[in-house]
Structure 1
Amino acid sequence: MNGTAKNRKYLPIHEICNILPNVRKKNILAFHAVTGCDSTSHLATITKKAAWKVFNGTTCQLSDNLGHSPLTPSSKANAEKFLVQLYKVTKDVSSRDEARYQLFGVVKKPEALPPTSDALRLHLLRCHYQVNVWENVHHVRPEVMDNESYGWRLHQDEYNPILMTLEPVPKACTDILTCNCLSHHCLTTMCTCKKNGLTCTKLCHRSHQCLNSSNG
């Protein structure tokens, strides 16, 4: 059932389930947890609808072990591969670090970047825990994993998610200089980056070939 109190809708879940390929049925709980549910964070700028399209178009085994203790390296790698595919990066990119690097300076808001390695690690721990709860909900006395070992912290009798344990940006990078050079190839002190002894980055707005970047 869904809809509003005055306009209830009946959704034949059994018919929808029969249409889904077996690999999608196996991965659907992991998909719901990884892309955000009531107890796990959703990915900024990524909607469920957009994620579902990617989910149906990928061959990635999202949950070969997600929700089944212990959380294996292959489960983490598959989840990371799936998450990367949700962002507009080239097909050769398979890790969130590569995706963050490629999108750095392209996206308008920092929250549009894929999660950091620290945030992703904790997110997957919470997803692993949540899928485990769902997988065992039919048992009279389900054996669930320890919350505090899977991305949660007990504070004043309430469990709160640990979103990250590291700073999102190193303190050394909190002040990032950029240039808007239109000529000189960023080789003179007219370039803000060159003047401060820094190389240009993808955040710089250059209309020429820059000779002050790591890529030349």
Structure 2
Amino acid sequence: MTNRFHGMDNKDQCKKDLLNGTCSSLSNAGNQFLDNCSELLVLDARDCANESAVVTVRTIQDVVSKTKRLYIASQSRDGDLEDFFMHENQPWPPSLAVNGKLRLPTKKSELLQHLETEGQPEPPTYFDVKVFDGAAIVHALSSNHAFTFDDYGDKVFLPWTRQQLQNSNRIDIVWDTYRTDSLKQSTGEKRGKGVRRKVGGQTKIPGNFPDFLKDPVNKEELFNFLTTKVSTHDYSDCIRRVFCMLTSTQPMSICDHEEADSKMCIHIDDALKKGSRAILVRTVDTDVIVILVGIFCNLIACYPGTCIWVAFGMGKHFQYFNINTICHNLGEDKSRGLPVFHAFTGSDTTSQFFGKAKHSAWETWNSFPAVTEAFLFMAHHPFKSLGVNSSQFQLLEEFTCHLYDKTSTLRSVTKLRQDLFSRKARTMDNIPPTQDALLQHSNRSIYQASIWTTSLQPQQNAPSPEDFGWTKTGSTWTPVWTILPEASKACRELLKCGCKKLPFCSGNCKCCSAVHWNLFVI
């Protein structure tokens, strides 16, 4: 007992020492909280924060203050709290957005931890066909020993193609297509923009090659350049075939796909039609594995004996995934629904719910398997948007409620928002989005998932994203977060009074008293 109490005394002493040290540091630096400086300062160093940080902090302060006062006003004036929580408290839902932009997933590859590979055999040493994500290969190959782009093509890229042919009958190198009005522009902005340099044979390779590859025009010119190199190279000593193209041309059907992720499926289908069965796909993108799992049941039905392997990742993170094994362990329904689940829980063009990574989402799917019905419907009915009263959206809404509170029996995000905010004191970014914001997110997810689930169709003929939670500003697509006004703008309609002298309220009305006490904010 003495030792235990002695330990407690030590902990208390450590806390006191820490508190005294903090007070001493603040005292030596002067009381920063009494400083009337309008700039945002780091307490100990007195460094001034940059303008973007100041704007973010001021916005957060304003939103938090406004939300609290609106909530108090709604309670004190017999407001309809359910209606209050049907509205976001700012132009974009903090659970889905960061400063008006998509809240992109921090680590998509976390999903792969849940794709069981138990019982997976060893990969073969020889493949009928290898299909490569060309951009991933360019990123992986070193440019250190190349002085010009000709050097890179002749001394780096072409030797690599010959090396791959040593244990394969055919290799396909597939490139992305870069469009000015692409939905993935938000992802490009996150990764930054590189310095523009015109690609030519005698042009010097930039010192910072990864930075050069951030510019989409640079990449498009480089991929065209490498395609020409391969198409004019003499492979006469090889009886094998090399396909390197920016778009799927003969012998593949002309396709309208934008991303290599889905284009690779056209190449796989072509190889299977020609009798190949052992396929290797090389990528570093989780989306590719998700797509292959989603379409595998269709492939195995058409081409019995198909075996698809994915060589994934780089360096110490490199590993093989056998798609056959994954689909066997998941079962057909979960395999077909995986692309929709992945899109709904966060991808390059859809938001991840704040604080809800792939691990949390996967556990929720396991605990609420009923949502699989909605995932399957969206997989089988591509580019079909949902309405708020559809049974599929109601399942997605209930799934979202389970994602935010596993113990809750509520099926409405509106009621759950009210419960988590008022009873459990959750912050606004830690409660689910409003029902309308969730509907817009669901339709954005449908659009992305539909592109993945129709990967075997050369002509996807995808409709405009405008019908799926997007709006176009110039050549850029931006999310439609919600069609309902903010809570502050809808507040006068939400907070009811008993005045009969419309449109003006009497002096004793709760509306007027609320304004007088500065509880109501517009």
Instruction: Give TM-score, length-normalised by structure 1.
Output: 0.72
**Counterpart residue identity of residue 410, structure 2:** V
Cα pair distance change 1:142/1:172, threshold 3 Å: closer
The answer to whether residue 411 in structure 2 is matched with residue 94 in structure 1 is yes
Displacement after TM superposition at 1:99 (Å): 1.2
Find the counterpart in structure 1 of residue 354 from structure 2.
44
In 2, Cα distance between equivalents of 1:28 and 1:170? 38
The residue matched to 2:478 in structure 1 has which SS? strand
Find the counterpart in structure 1 of residue 481 from structure 2.
163
Find the counterpart in structure 2 of residue 145 from structure 1.
463
The answer to whether residue 327 in structure 2 is matched with residue 9 in structure 1 is no
The residue matched to 1:114 in structure 2 has which SS? coil
8 Å contact kept, 2:385–2:468: no
Find the counterpart in structure 2 of residue 63 from structure 1.
375
Structure 1 residue runs of 5 or longer lacking an equivalent are 174-195, 198-216
In 1, Cα distance between equivalents of 2:464 and 2:420? 36
**Counterpart residue identity of residue 62, structure 1:** A
Cα pair distance change 1:10/1:149, threshold 3 Å: same
Find the counterpart in structure 2 of residue 206 from structure 1.
none
8 Å contact kept, 2:354–2:429: yes
Aligned runs of 1:1-216 on 2, under 5 Å?
A: 1-5=311-315, 7-60=317-370, 61-67=373-379, 68=381, 69-72=383-386, 73-88=390-405, 90-105=407-422, 106-171=424-489
8 Å contact kept, 1:64–1:75: no
Displacement after TM superposition at 1:50 (Å): 0.9
Displacement after TM superposition at 1:42 (Å): 0.7
**Counterpart residue identity of residue 33, structure 1:** A
The residue matched to 2:447 in structure 1 has which SS? helix
In 2, Cα distance between equivalents of 1:126 and 1:34? 8
**Counterpart residue identity of residue 32, structure 1:** H
**Counterpart residue identity of residue 113, structure 1:** I
Find the counterpart in structure 1 of residue 122 from structure 2.
none
In 2, Cα distance between equivalents of 1:34 and 1:149? 17
8 Å contact kept, 1:63–1:78: no
Aligned Cα RMSD in Å?
A: 2.4
In 1, Cα distance between equivalents of 2:334 and 2:486? 33
Displacement after TM superposition at 1:6 (Å): 5.9
In 2, Cα distance between equivalents of 1:89 and 1:29? 23
8 Å contact kept, 2:401–2:408: no
The residue matched to 1:118 in structure 2 has which SS? helix
Cα pair distance change 1:104/1:146, threshold 3 Å: same
Q: Deviations over 1:2-31 (max 9, x none)?
A: 333464222223211210022212321111
Displacement after TM superposition at 1:151 (Å): 0.9
The count of aligned residue pairs is 176
8 Å contact kept, 1:2–1:8: yes
8 Å contact kept, 2:401–2:412: yes
8 Å contact kept, 1:65–1:71: no
In 2, Cα distance between equivalents of 1:14 and 1:89? 32
In 2, Cα distance between equivalents of 1:109 and 1:59? 28
8 Å contact kept, 1:119–1:164: yes
8 Å contact kept, 1:89–1:103: no
8 Å contact kept, 2:364–2:402: yes
8 Å contact kept, 1:123–1:163: yes
In 1, Cα distance between equivalents of 2:436 and 2:486? 9
In 1, Cα distance between equivalents of 2:426 and 2:472? 35
Which one has a bigger Cα radius of gyration? 2
Find the counterpart in structure 2 of residue 179 from structure 1.
none
In 2, Cα distance between equivalents of 1:58 and 1:26? 17
**Counterpart residue identity of residue 347, structure 2:** C
In 1, Cα distance between equivalents of 2:378 and 2:459? 21
In 1, Cα distance between equivalents of 2:415 and 2:326? 36
In 2, Cα distance between equivalents of 1:114 and 1:2? 33
8 Å contact kept, 2:472–2:478: yes
Displacement after TM superposition at 1:107 (Å): 4.1
8 Å contact kept, 1:89–1:102: no
In 2, Cα distance between equivalents of 1:170 and 1:118? 17
8 Å contact kept, 2:374–2:395: yes
Q: Deviations over 1:31-89 (max 9, x none)?
A: 11111111101101111101101112223123242252433512211111111110115
Cα pair distance change 1:80/1:7, threshold 3 Å: closer
In 2, Cα distance between equivalents of 1:7 and 1:96? 38
Q: Deviations over 1:89-123 (max 9, x none)?
A: 54421111121121113244211111112211110
Identity of aligned residues (%): 28
